[in-house]
Amino acid sequence: MVMDGAVWIREEDDDNTNIPIFVYVFLLLLVISSSICAAHSSETGNSQANNQTFRPEEELKKLKLSPDGDIIDCVLLRHQPAFDHPKLKGKKPLDPPERPNGHNRKGMAADDFQMWMMSGESCPEGTIPIRRTTEEDMLRASSVASFGKKPTRLVRRDSSSDGHEHAVGYVSGDEYYGAKANINVWAPRVSNQYEFSLSQLWVISGSFGDDLNTIEAGWQVSPELYGDYYPRFFTYWTSDAYQATGCYNLLCSGFVQTNNRIAIGAAISPTSSYGGGQFDISLLVWK
């Protein structure tokens, strides 16, 4: 059962930016995973990943940048970063969970809403696409420890936090088993590397103290994190109010992906325009 509640839908602009809930909640447009091969063309899409031998030297010759400048690696499910987490060490990826009633994949739009797939690239079954982290990505972070994380600071429900302008719609006070949102995708121009803009679905548990748990998903424009101004699909999680746990996308262990057609952190296309076409993404989180 999916309830349209327990959800914060936030549209933010910030001049600073930084999020464990794990195994029990799953995201519809992704549930994630990771040994490295270059993004395969659609010709290899039906191959069995477990029977393939990946030769790094050969694969590197075949690498090409996607239109957003990314390199996407196809990583075996069991080798994804999630399984570096102490509580997931030695575990095997589970089959994707059943979707709630009325949310079957047949009724969903196509998954090819990201730039990296426009040139016909895809990852074979048994792997997931992971956006490669570059040296430039790391150098833009204020420190290695802070890379891929939100800054530790008080998270508020209101709009009075210094330097952080946002609008929030939320419901609370009952027992919820999921949330869904359709989010319009724009490409706002932020004024410098340290600003960001986003629109997201935010499922939370706990208080706004040290026990805050969140699962977040949506799109963001963040030149500090990605080095450009494309709106990119992202996820975030934390189990201790952004202090020691959680991160964006797959930049730390804990979040298990199973979908081989969606690259978390990759650019979304097309986007909405004023007086023109309108485009959105649908997100579903359920337990």
Short-list 280, 231, 240, CA closest to 18: 240
Q: What is the rounded distance in angstroms from the CA atom of residue 69 to the CA atom of residue 48?
A: 28
pLDDT digit string, tens, across residues 53-94: 545 445 444 456 788 889 999 999 999 999 988 888 888 888
| Residue pointed to by tokens 């990771």 | 34
Residues 14, 17, 23, 26: is their CA dihedral positive or negative? positive
What are the strands, taking DSSP E only, across the chain? 7-14, 26-27, 36-38, 40-41, 72-76, 121-122, 127-131, 164-170, 178-184, 196-205, 213-221, 232-238, 280-286
pLDDT at 26: 39
pLDDT for the residue 77: 92
Return the pLDDT at 217.
96
Residue 268 confidence class, pLDDT cut points 50, 70, 90: very high
Please write the tens of the pLDDT for every residue from 8-29: 334 455 544 333 333 333 344 4
Percent of the chain with pLDDT over 70: 71
Question: Under a CB-based contact definition with an 8 Å cutoff, are residues 282 and 28 in contact?
Answer: yes
Cis, bond preceding 86 (omega within 30 deg of 0):
no
Mean pLDDT for the stretch of residues 89-114 = 75
Confidence (pTM): 0.76
Instruction: Give the percent of the chain with pLDDT over 90.
Output: 39
pLDDT at 216: 95
Q: Are strands 7-14 and 196-205 parallel, antiparallel or unpaired?
A: antiparallel
pLDDT tens-digit map of 179-225 = 999 999 999 999 888 899 999 999 998 877 788 999 999 999 999 99
Residue 81 carries which DSSP code?
G
Question: Which residues, at least 6 apart from 275, have a Cβ–Cβ distance to it below 8 Å?
Answer: none
Which has more pLDDT, 25 or 279?
A: 279
The residue whose two tokens read 């949102």 is: 181
Position 160 pLDDT exceeds 80: no
